[in-house]
């Protein structure tokens, strides 16, 4: 029934490296006319603009350290407070762990909002390794060995499984088969979101 359609579009896309979540995230955000909020992109934008947050991030990265959860959450909150994210957004790369889930919950609760759906792109481990190995070969990245790739996938599996468990209990996770053509995978995601009553709006 159209009168019960949820017009908001606040999404999180998760998936292991090599799952294609970056590409699919851009496609889904374009379909729903919402911005992609990628932590990597937001970090780089703040550093390039020389903002106070960006200066903090740059100092941490130059020291070879990981950006702590508190600062990551602060930067994401700042990005989500911008006008283009008022009616929806697609998060990519955040939250990564349970602490960040809690931070995001607190922020959205303060705006009387919540995530509408969590898109999990699922691909077999061997498929992820094959895709990443091919990409490393094409880009001439000798540091991306199969061992390094497997280690990154292990980190994803350890950190992301609890996140999906939390969101799964809320009934907002859509697990999507991430193997197939780009269009096939996009169609699967859109169909799952529309089944929740999350309908794409016409472009302005």
Active site residue 141: yes
Active site residue 196: no
Could you say which of 109, 141, 158, 170 is catalytic? 141
Written in H, E and C, the secondary structure of 125-159 is HHHHHHHHHHHHHHHCCCCCCHHHHHHHHHHHHHH
Give Cβ neighbours of residue 2 (< 8 Å, ≥ 6 apart).
none
Query: What element of type H or E holds 173?
Result: strand 173-177
Active site residue 77: no
Burial class of residue 174 in the structure, from the number of CB atoms within 10 Å of its CB (0-12 exposed, 13-18 middle, 19+ buried): middle
Question: Do residues 159 and 103 lie in contact, with contact meaning Cβ atoms separated by under 8 Å?
Answer: no
* N-to-C CA span, the chain: 23
Could you say which of 44, 77, 122, 135 is catalytic? 135
Could you say which of 77, 96, 125, 200 is catalytic? 96
The number of CA neighbours under 13 Å toward the Cβ of 119 is 36
79 backbone φψ class: left, alpha, beta (φ>0; ψ -120 to 50): alpha
Active site residue 152: yes
Could you say which of 56, 122, 125, 152 is catalytic? 152
Active site residue 56: no
Give the residue numbers annotated as catalytic, written as ranges: 21, 96, 135, 141, 152
């Amino acid at each position: 029934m159209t009168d019960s359609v949820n017009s908001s579009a606040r999404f999180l896309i998760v998936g292991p490296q090599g799952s294609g979540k970056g590409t699919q995230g851009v496609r889904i955000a374009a379909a729903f006319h919402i911005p992609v909020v990628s932590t990597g992109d937001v970090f780089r934008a703040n550093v390039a603009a020389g903002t106070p947050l960006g200066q903090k991030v740059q100092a941490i990265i130059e020291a070879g350290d990981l950006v702590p959860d508190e600062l990551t959450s602060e930067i994401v909150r700042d990005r989500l407070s911008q006008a283009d994210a008022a009616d929806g957004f697609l998060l990519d790369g955040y939250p990564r762990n349970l602490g960040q889930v809690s931070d995001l919950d607190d922020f959205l609760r303060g705006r009387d909002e919540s995530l509408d759906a969590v898109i999990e792109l699922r691909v077999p481990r061997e498929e992820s390794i094959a895709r990443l190995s091919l990409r490393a070969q094409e880009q001439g990245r000798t540091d991306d060995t199969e061992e390094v790739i497997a280690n990154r996938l292990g980190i994803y599996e350890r950190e992301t499984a609890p996140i999906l468990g939390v969101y799964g209990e809320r009934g907002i996770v859509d697990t999507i088969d991430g193997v197939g053509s780009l269009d096939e995978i996009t169609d699967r995601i859109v169909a799952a979101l529309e089944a929740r009553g999350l309908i794409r709006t016409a472009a302005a």
